[in-house]
Amino acid sequence: MLVGASDVTRHAGRSFSGLRERLRDATSDAHRELDSQLSAFDLTGFSGYRCFLHASAGALLPLEAALVDAGVEELFPDWPERSRSAAIATDLERLGASAAATVSVPPLTRSGVLGTMYVLEGSRLGAKFLLKMIADATDPRIGGATSYLRHGTGKRLWQSFLSKLEDEEECDEVEVITSARVAFAAFERAADRA
């Protein structure tokens, strides 16, 4: 998938309309693997849902910290509206637990910010599906701890991310894809540890 990609990655002014598709293709295996891993958590049961949140927080917290360290607000001035660390910490607190980073991630470049954001913003789409699953939970504590999954509902965060991705003229496509893969791997490692 990346064959020949480095030939055009650093040319300013080119169209990035296909970058989303290349990202999707280059990370599809990692995405499927993570989905498979997360499906092992019983989200309708208290302990399974809490483990899912622990796994998610384990990767989300260090990824969001790396984004902040890399100056994510320069690319996304609405970062405070996008960040979900506080939401997941609140959910875990409601379930009698605390949020903690369980994996480490490397520092990000500007292009790395885009790849990481691709994974984090894309996960909002999956959150809608997960909310439907936990609607069947009989434990009311689960329904009261869905700030993370509901975060950004009704806002056009995915669409505005895609617009930024397509408008970004100075990015290294290989780094964008690599950082997206690193983000997926961070969630996989955190799920293993949960």
Which CA distances in Å does 143 have to 44, 130, 146, 150, 187? 10, 12, 6, 11, 23
Q: Which CATH number fits domain 34-193: 1.20.120.330, 1.20.910.10, 3.40.50.620, 3.40.50.2300?
A: 1.20.910.10
SS3 call for 12: coil
Q: What are the residue boundaries of the structural domains of the chain, listed by start?
A: 34-193
Question: Among residues of the chain, what percentage have pLDDT more than 70?
Answer: 91
C-alpha to C-alpha distance for 95 and 123, rounded to whole angstroms: 22
Give pLDDT, residue 8: 34
User: Model pTM?
Assistant: 0.89
